[in-house]
Amino acid sequence: MQTDAVGRAWREGVSVVVATSAYGLSFGALSIASGLDLWQTMVLSLLMFSGGSQFAFIGVIAAGGGIAGVASAGMLGLRNALYGMSMRRVVQPRPMMMPLAAHVTIDESTAVALAQSEPRAQRVGFWVTGVGIFVGWNLATLAGALLGDLLGDPKQWGLDAAAAAAFVGLLWPRLKARQAIAVAAASAVLAAALLPVAPSGTPVILAAVVGVVVGLTNWFGPKHESDLPDPGGPEHREGQHA
């Protein structure tokens, strides 16, 4: 019974690793197209290691933003702290393993861990997915960056459109509740409206105010918190209301 659950954690982890690592290819190629060199691209995948933050950083840099790229990457990384809070309980890493666990705490490792039904399978799911993606993502980034060096003009290959599509893909799974859809629509419109007037890189940050304000006030929100999408797991949500 226990080996069944652990086997399932392995299989789910490996399939997520393969799918996620593959789009490290697009990150590597897009990073080169954004004007970073091979080593700069690799440092982002090795040290930052958080897909959304990495795509945001190179996107803002390509648009001519400087410190706004740092802010965008940092703000998109904030959710990893939330994942860390629930993964600390789930994974219970020894003190020496804590930094490694924290580094591989991303959307995918958290999701696979929380999808498992028993503690040992949760730990296996977390480590298999987190470490697997770290290795696969970095290899794919390297391959994509080498490929990107050969491609030449990124627009000719549609790589600018690929960058936009990558954000659609990161956003899509988060658009389940009405509140999230309203926030996404308002933020997109606001960012577009600010494009001609705000300095490079800042429209995204200014538009993010929408999410913070709606989050704090719970406008358009469900009456019960349990209706919210829940990346951190259901186990500690019972009985809590807005």
Instruction: Considering only residues 10 through 69, tell me which ones interact with another protein, judged by CB under 8 A.
Output: 19-20, 22-23, 25-26, 35-36, 40, 43-44, 47-50, 52-53, 55-57, 59, 61, 63, 66-67, 69
Q: Cα–Cα distance between 55 and 183 in angstroms, integer? A: 21
| Per-residue binding letters, 196-225, with another protein (x by CB under 8 A) | x------xxx-xxxxxx-xxx-x--x---x
| Per-residue binding letters, 72-101, with another protein (x by CB under 8 A) | xxxxxxxxxxxxxxxxxx---x----xx-x
Residue closer to another protein by CB (options 4, 185) is 185
Q: What would the two tokens of residue 91 be?
A: 């994974």
User: CB of residue 6 vs another protein: minimum separation in angstroms?
Assistant: 24
Length of the chain: 242
User: CB of residue 154 vs another protein: minimum separation in angstroms?
Assistant: 9
Residue closer to another protein by CB (options 146, 180) is 180
Does 102 contact another protein by CB under 8 A?
yes
Residue closer to another protein by CB (options 135, 192) is 192
Beta bridge partners of 241: 224
Contacts for 47-51 with beta carbons within 8 Å, 24 or more apart?
48/73, 48/77, 49/103, 49/104, 49/106, 49/134, 49/137, 50/76, 50/77, 50/80, 50/106, 51/20, 51/23, 51/27, 51/106, 51/107, 51/137, 51/170
